[in-house]
Amino acid sequence: MSQRTDMRAVREHREVLLIRVRALTVLVVTVITLITGSYWYHQLVRGAHYANLADNNRLRKLSIRAPRGLIFDRHGKVLVENIPSYDLMLDRSRADDIAASLVFAAGVLERPVERLAAELEKASNRPDFVPVPVAGNLTLAQVAQMSVTGREHPEFEIRARPLRLYRHGPQTAHVLGYIGHVSKQDLATQPGFLPGDRIGKDGIEQTYDSALRGGAGQQVVVVDSRGKSLQEQHRKPADPGQDLHLTLDLRLQQAAEELMRDRTGAVVALDPRNGEIRAMVSSPPFDPNQFARGLGAKQWQALLDDPQDPLQNRTVRNSYAPGSVFKIIMAFAGLQEGVINESERVYCRGSATIYGHRFGCDRRSGHGWVNLREAIERSCNVYFYHLGQTLGIETIARYARAFGMGTATGVDLSGEKVGLVPDNAWSEKTRGTRWYAGETISVAIGQGPLLVTPLQTARLMAAVANGGALVRPHLVRGAFGEEPPPRLPGSMRWLDPIRDGLRAVVNAPTGTAYWNARLADVEVAGKTGTVQVISRAKVDGELSGNLRNHGWFASFAPADDPQLVIVVFAEHGESGSSGAAPIAKALYEEFFASRAGTA
Amino acid sequence: MKSSSRAALGLPEERRTFAGASRVDSGLLAATLLLAAIGLATVQSASAELSIDYLPRQAVWVGLGLVLLLVTLAIDYHDLVDFSPFFYLGGLALLVVVLIFGEGPGGTRSWLTIGGVRLGQPAEFAKLTTALFLARYLASAGERHLDLRQIATACAIVGMPMALIALQPDLGSAAMFVPLAAGMMLIAGLRLRFLIATALVVLALGAVGWHFGMKDYQQERVITFLSPESDPLGAGYQVQQSKIAVGSGELTGKGYGQGTQSQLRFLPARHTDFVFAVLAEEWGFFGVAVVLGLYLLYMVSALRIALRARDRGGILLVVGLISLLGFHVAYNTAMVVGLLPITGIPLPFLSYGGSFTLINFIATGLILGIDLRRYVNR
């Protein structure tokens, strides 16, 4: 083969090759263009999306908790404050041997290692690099010990967090309430909460939670791929919670708590002129500090199972038959409706037979002839049986409602009961039967289905004391505006004979509270009430424990210039006179003594 | 031997004289140098948070690469093609040696080490020797279309190193022989129908291999590729983080050394396989466009050299090298944005790596040398 033809052959093949190389060039350009297009799509079309993802990667938003507002009594005494509490935190990502670390910490703290392990177990679902608490409420000595001997254990750190301190422990417990961890429901329904946040669970802590809590701040930190925080990028300081000044008078409150110790019941003291609550006690109490420190399941169950129900605020969440205290409303209704007057007398021979039933009076031998003042003073049932029969249930119910029975007082506490004012409509709706006239006779002396809370009773007394205004009870100063309170219907001159009667209850030697509530230098006016827990006819002899009658004493003083209303409800306290009135008396002494002292 | 191989290349002995000295192709050289410089800068940024400083090492590799580029340029590629059977056999021998004595990450045998010192990855070297030997064989074929015997022989030439590399196991590197062989054979005269037939056979074999040959983690990679969000903290993590790095670079990037994905260690293998994600994050689409433009310049320049070359062997060699390098570029950049499954395929001139860097410079030297000697055969 000659070289010339050989060359030509190469040339021919070369042309074919070159066409293919050009095709390859087109392929290369196309592929590079497609890839460039793909980057265009990712970086420009979807760029913002990925920039956001990159930020989510590197930025951790941490919430800075605001210090919770403090709570003071009306004289500026601290009731609730925040103190630092020290937790031992374990960063599992920095521990070589977690078990060994726990053993070390347990040794330093002198706590069983199982307890630390159990705490750690609770946080097992959290990422490793998030420090978790393994021991709480360290003493300062333990903190010092840990920081000295713990140098070789960088996995541990001490975290100080504010702990809610209720200065007076169980005293003021029901008013203040307590705080606890936010529930899953709170997290779902209320924005701005993080797991582990505390929220007011009861009392003032609950009602004013948002004011007390303030606004959480935010800290944005840059983290690396292992979650290690590298630098702070942004910080929005927390908005501290607002302090609250209560209407409560700590001295009076403590006196009332002391008087109710070992008793079950409720005390409400309020200013009849404006509704400011000076003292509010529900007994037995609980210790809100337990909740702040963190309540174990066992302790929580014990509180729930306690038959005395210490968590229940009896001033607003329990309702009872008002007993003879209801006679105040009966008297006002009778006078207002014109069916009785001050001088008209009724003869009491110890019982009355109405609608074929015999209704007994407190005094089996009878009170003889009694007028309105005497009927109130001696708490004569027969007088009010006749009045009830005359008025009828619908009129009674109307006046009861006018005095605020059956509606919430609007106090700044949650879970308030509205009580019950029975009438025909109520009977048909709930019992499916007509109201029987005979039942009206029971209602006339505050028995039967009638139910009121101690706070409603205090509001009723305030209306009598202040000349007819149904003030709104409240615990935080200036909680409610200047809106004028609703007033009782009709003429207020009918309150005078009632007040005369109430004054006589305490100050006339024959009054039901003469021996138990009378003060030497201040005139107290009040009304006793005794609520039968079971019918006397059913049990012979001494009644004991939870079968004993409840006692009421609702009062105000001084009688001619009322400054304070006190309502005492003694659960199973035997009677209003012996079980409740002495407590009110002691409280008035405390109140007027401190007033004289400070004046 | 010497004259017969000349004849095989279709080059008469007496024509082989150095005449008409030419300049090296400035576009190709500029692209090479710029890419290497960008590579050094990006490796520095990508490894800034690592305990080992990769920049000085990579600088040494680049320096050595430039020396080897000049050395390759000085040697007539015809001689290299002539000796390619020996290089090829030497390459195979190294692959056998590395299979026996090699070390590598995760129990693989890809690194040749002596006394604890890494000498390199024979697989990279084998790519080059195979390209040379295949160029020699296909140049001698010399017909418009390859016949079945020629196709089988070419496949055997490519298949042997592939098989040895696959045994290491390094499927990513083994797969790189496919574009190399396909590119050269298509140019040499492989009918498209053969390619299509082969593709079907490969798919069938792939299906069989999926069930019987693939290890769990390899299957996982493919699944992860198909659905990266299914396992964001496991195998899909890399793709996800890489896409975030690229996308968040947006138009102008976060600035050199400011890429949060890489500096905060969210991005895996950021100085090697994912170095382009670092670049995309820090320089944005501008940087991506510049680098892809440089690769395009490199490849188009090389293919223009192929068009200028006067002999079959030179054309085939350029095409083989460009197929290899182009596939690396395309696969790596596509993998980084999640268009292709993740395998350990580095990006030429940008990724950190000794053997790989050297091979890229030698290949560049070869291509430039082919251009320089294009008048030899006039």
Tokens coding B366: 């070869």
Q: Is the pLDDT of residue A514 over 80?
A: yes
pLDDT tens column, B280-303: 999 999 999 999 999 999 999 999
Q: Which residues contact B27 (CB under 8 A, 6 or more apart)?
A: B297, B298, B300, B301
- Cα–Cα dist A383/A461, whole Å: 21
DSSP state for residue A579 in the 8-state scheme: I
Place of tokens 């499927």: B171
Q: Side chain identity at A40, as an amino acid letter?
A: W
Residues of A in contact with B315 (CB under 8 A): 14, 17-18, 21
For a pLDDT cut of 90, what percent of chain A falls above it?
Answer: 49
pLDDT tens column, A529-570: 988 876 544 444 555 556 788 899 999 989 999 999 999 999
pLDDT at A145: 82
Q: Is the pLDDT of residue B345 over 80?
A: yes
This model's pTM is above 0.90: no
Tokens coding A274: 């404006």
Cβ neighbours around B117 below 10 Å, total: 7
User: If we measure between CA atoms, which residue out of A502, A519, A401 comes closest to residue A461?
Assistant: A502
Q: Is the pLDDT of residue B210 over 80?
A: no
Contact (CB, 8 A) for A473 and A507: no
pLDDT tens column, A138-166: 888 888 888 777 677 878 888 888 888 99
Contact B264 A224 (CB under 8 A): yes
Cβ neighbours around A92 below 10 Å, total: 19
The b-or-e profile of B2-33 (16+ CB within 10 A means b, else e) is: eeebbebbbbeeeeeeeeeeeebbebbbebbb
DSSP A32-53: HHHHHHHHHIIIIISHHHHHHH
- Cα–Cα dist A417/A577, whole Å: 26
With residue B166 as reference, give the H or E element that holds it.
helix B148-167
Residue A565 phi, psi dihedral angles, 5° rounding: -105, 135
H-assigned helices in A43-137 = 47-58, 98-109, 113-122
Q: Is the pLDDT of residue A249 over 50?
A: yes
Place of tokens 């460039």: A36
The b-or-e profile of A173-188 (16+ CB within 10 A means b, else e) is: bbbbbbbbebeeeebe
Residues of B in contact with A35 (CB under 8 A): 292, 330, 333-334, 339
Handedness of CA A423, A425, A427, A430 (dihedral sign): negative
User: Is the Cβ of B303 closer than 8 Å to some Cβ of chain A?
Assistant: yes
pLDDT at A216: 81
Cβ neighbours around A412 below 10 Å, total: 22
- Cα–Cα dist A89/A93, whole Å: 12
Ramachandran bin of A269, using left for φ above 0, alpha for ψ from -120 to 50, beta for the remaining angles? beta
Cβ neighbours around B105 below 10 Å, total: 8
Q: Is the pLDDT of residue A358 over 60?
A: yes
ipTM of the complex in this document: 0.87
Which residue of A5, A35, A44 is the best one to mutate when testing the B interface, meaning the one whose CB has the most B CBs within 10 A? A35
DSSP-derived pairing of the beta strands A564-570 and A277-283: unpaired
pLDDT at A4: 39
Quote the radius of gyration of chain A (alpha carbons, Å): 37
| Mean pLDDT of all residues in A186-210 | 83
Place of tokens 């050595």: B64
Handedness of CA B274, B276, B277, B282 (dihedral sign): positive
Q: Is the pLDDT of residue B92 over 70?
A: yes
Ramachandran bin of A419, using left for φ above 0, alpha for ψ from -120 to 50, beta for the remaining angles? left
Nearest-by-Cβ selection for B142 from A13, A20, A39: A13
* Strand partners of residue A138: A86
DSSP B41-86: HHHHHHTTTSSS-HHHHHHHHHHHHHHHHHHHHHS-HHHHHHTHHH
- Cα–Cα dist A322/A319, whole Å: 9
pLDDT bin (cut points 50, 70, 90) of residue B93 is: very high
pLDDT at B3: 45
pLDDT at B229: 56
Tokens coding A427: 């009977």
Task: Share the mean pLDDT of chain A.
Answer: 86
pLDDT bin (cut points 50, 70, 90) of residue A479 is: confident
pLDDT bin (cut points 50, 70, 90) of residue B20 is: very low
Contact (CB, 8 A) for A157 and A131: yes
Residue of B nearest to A44 (CA): B250
Tokens coding A103: 């053993």
Contact B142 A29 (CB under 8 A): no
Burial of A24 (0-12, 13-18, 19+ CB in 10 A): buried
User: If we measure between CA atoms, which residue out of A23, B221, B343 comes closest to residue A31?
Assistant: A23
Tokens coding A107: 């040794």
pLDDT at B375: 64
pLDDT at B99: 86
Nearest-by-Cβ selection for B280 from A43, A51, A222: A43
Tokens coding A489: 């219907």
Q: Is the pLDDT of residue B13 over 50?
A: no
pLDDT at A399: 96
| A288 CA to centre of own chain | 11
Residues of A in contact with B232 (CB under 8 A): none
Chain A nearest CA to B9, separation (Å) = 9
Chain A residues contacting B via beta carbons under 8 Å: 3, 6, 9-10, 13-14, 16-18, 20-22, 24-25, 28-29, 31-32, 35-36, 38-40, 42-44, 46-51, 53-54, 57-58, 222-226, 230
Question: C-alpha angle A116/A119/A125, rounded to 5°?
Answer: 135
Residue of B nearest to A8 (CA): B10
Which residue of B264, B276, B279, B307 is the best one to mutate when testing the A interface, meaning the one whose CB has the most A CBs within 10 A? B264
Q: Which range among A115-129, A383-397, A430-444 shows the weakest confidence by mean pLDDT?
A: A115-129
Burial of B257 (0-12, 13-18, 19+ CB in 10 A): middle
Q: Is the pLDDT of residue B142 over 70?
A: no
Contact (CB, 8 A) for B100 and B93: no
pLDDT at B201: 87
Contact (CB, 8 A) for B78 and B16: yes
User: If we measure between CA atoms, which residue out of A130, A43, A53 comes closest to residue B232?
Assistant: A53
pLDDT bin (cut points 50, 70, 90) of residue B220 is: confident
Q: Is the pLDDT of residue A1 over 70?
A: no
With residue A236 as reference, give the H or E element that holds it.
strand A229-236
Residue B273 phi, psi dihedral angles, 5° rounding: -70, -25
Contact A57 B300 (CB under 8 A): no
Residues of B in contact with A42 (CB under 8 A): 243, 246-247, 337
Contact (CB, 8 A) for B29 and B368: yes
User: If we measure between CA atoms, which residue out of B199, B169, B177, B109 comes closest to residue B321?
Assistant: B177
- Cα–Cα dist B351/B58, whole Å: 9
Chain B nearest CA to A22, separation (Å) = 8
pLDDT tens column, B231-259: 555 557 788 888 888 988 888 888 888 88
Nearest-by-Cβ selection for A32 from B187, B241, B296: B296
Q: Which range among A116-130, A403-417, B136-150, B360-374 shows the weakest confidence by mean pLDDT?
A: A116-130
More confident residue, A500 or A147: A500
> Alpha-carbon dihedral of residues A467, A471, A476, A481, nearest 10 degrees?
-110
Residues of B in contact with A31 (CB under 8 A): 326, 330
Quote the radius of gyration of chain B (alpha carbons, Å): 21
For a pLDDT cut of 70, what percent of chain A falls above it?
Answer: 93
